[in-house]
Amino acid sequence: MQGKRSPARRPTMKDIARRAGVSESAVSFALNDRPGVSEITRDRVRRVAEQLGWRPSTAARALSGEGSATVGLVVARPADTLGVDSFFLQLISGVQEVLAERHLGLLFQVVEDVDAECAVYRRWWAEHRVDGVLVVDPRTDDPRPALLDELGLPAVVIGGVPDTDHPGLSTVWADDAGAMVAVVDRLYALGHRRIVHIAGLPGLAHTERRMRALRAEAERRGLAEVRSVPTDYSDAEGAAVTRGVLGAGRPPTALVYDNDVMAVAGVAAAVGLGFSVPGDVSIVAWEDSALCRMVKPWLSALSRDTVSFGRTAARELLALLDGGPAGTVQVPVPTLIERESTGPAPA
C-alpha cells in the first residue's frame, strides 16, 4: 500500500535566496522592486523565482498593507432584476478577463441602495479588502465620487461622463444621447410620430441622458406624442407599462426599451393585446443579446461590445493601481441593428 502523498510545498523566499546565493532581504528588495540591490542581483533573483514557480502570498501582502490583490464591484439594484440582465453578465466577463491576467480577484456584492453601497466602500477601505473599485450606475446626484475621493480609493466610474469635480476618478462612458438620437432618427424616417421610451431606473445618469435626448429630438422635430416612462428594468414592469401605453386612446406606433428583457416582455404583452409587431407597433431594445433572437419577431436592437466595455474599465483601474493618472475613455456609440421588429408606421 502506497503511503499518503504529502501536499506540494510552495517555494519560499528562503528557497530563492539559497538558489540565488543572496540574503532573504535582498530577495525581498528585488521581488518588491525596492532599492537596495543592484540590477544584476535583481535580475538574477527574478530569474530564480520564475524557475522555482514562486508567487507572492496574497495574505502576506494584505497583512503588510501592500494590497489585497482584489478589486471590488457593488451593484445597487434589485437582486431579482440582475439574474437575467445580459449587460452585467457580459461586463463582468470582460472585467474578469483582464483581472485574470494579473491574478487579481473580483469581490462582487449586491445591495439595496446607494447608501448601502457607500457603507460597503467604507468597510472595504477600513478592512483593506480591495485595492480599488469599479463603480456602475452613476446617479444624477451621486454621493459616491466624493466618498471615494475622501477615502483615497482608486476607482473607475462606468457609464458616467467626465467629472471635473473629482479628477482623481477615471471614467469609461458611452454616448447614450447620441445612440438615442440615432434610434429616433431611424424611427422618424420610417414614419413614426408617436414614440414611447420605456426607460430604466429614474435617477440613473444614463437613463436621464437618454430621456433628455428623446425630449430634445421631439422638440426639434415638433413631435408632441413622444415621452419616456421609467421602470425598474424588470420584465414585469416592462410588460405592465407596455399594456398601459398600448391601451391608451392613441397608442404609440414605436416602443424603445432600455434593455432586452423588457423588450422581450413587451413583445409578448403587445401580441397579447392583439397588436402586430411590427405591423401595428415597432419595437427596439437597447441592449442586444441572444434574447433578442429567441423571440418572434427577432428584435431590432442597439448593439455594443459590452465585454470590451468591461475590459476597458478593468484596464483603466489597473492603470490607476499602477500609479498612473486618472483618465477618461469614450467607447464606441452603440449601433442600431435592424431586424424583424421594426417597420414602417401604420397608415
Q: What is the mean pLDDT of residues 250-279?
A: 97
| Pair (126, 187) in one structural domain | no
| Pair (32, 86) in one structural domain | no
Quote the pLDDT of residue 63: 42
CATH of the domain at 289: 3.40.50.2300
| Pair (300, 326) in one structural domain | no
| Pair (215, 288) in one structural domain | yes
| Pair (185, 300) in one structural domain | yes
Whether 83 maps to a domain, the answer reads: yes
User: Residues 5-14: pLDDT tens digits?
Assistant: 444 466 788 8
Residues spanned by the domain of 160: 70-174+306-330
Q: Which strands make up the sheet holding 195-199, listed edge to edge? A: 226-230, 195-199, 254-257, 282-285, 300-303, 335-337
| Pair (242, 295) in one structural domain | yes
| Pair (101, 205) in one structural domain | no
Whether 342 maps to a domain, the answer reads: no
Q: What is the mean pLDDT of residues 163-177?
A: 85
| Pair (292, 181) in one structural domain | yes
Whether residue 279 has pLDDT greater than 90: yes
| Pair (167, 252) in one structural domain | no
Whether 335 maps to a domain, the answer reads: no
Quote the pLDDT of residue 66: 55
| Pair (18, 125) in one structural domain | no
The domain tally of the chain equals: 3
Quote the pLDDT of residue 166: 80
Place of cell 457593488: 74
Whether 181 maps to a domain, the answer reads: yes
Whether 86 maps to a domain, the answer reads: yes
Quote the pLDDT of residue 162: 67
| Pair (37, 155) in one structural domain | no
Quote the pLDDT of residue 267: 97
Quote the pLDDT of residue 36: 81
What span, in angstroms and rounded, lies between the C-alpha atoms of 158 and 151? 19
User: Residues 45-96: pLDDT tens digits?
Assistant: 999 988 887 766 544 454 445 556 899 999 998 776 666 677 888 999 999 9
Sign of the four-CA dihedral 114, 115, 116, 119: positive
Whether 56 maps to a domain, the answer reads: no
Whether 125 maps to a domain, the answer reads: yes
Whether 59 maps to a domain, the answer reads: no
User: Residues 90-129: pLDDT tens digits?
Assistant: 999 999 999 998 889 999 999 999 999 999 999 998 888 8
| Pair (77, 35) in one structural domain | no
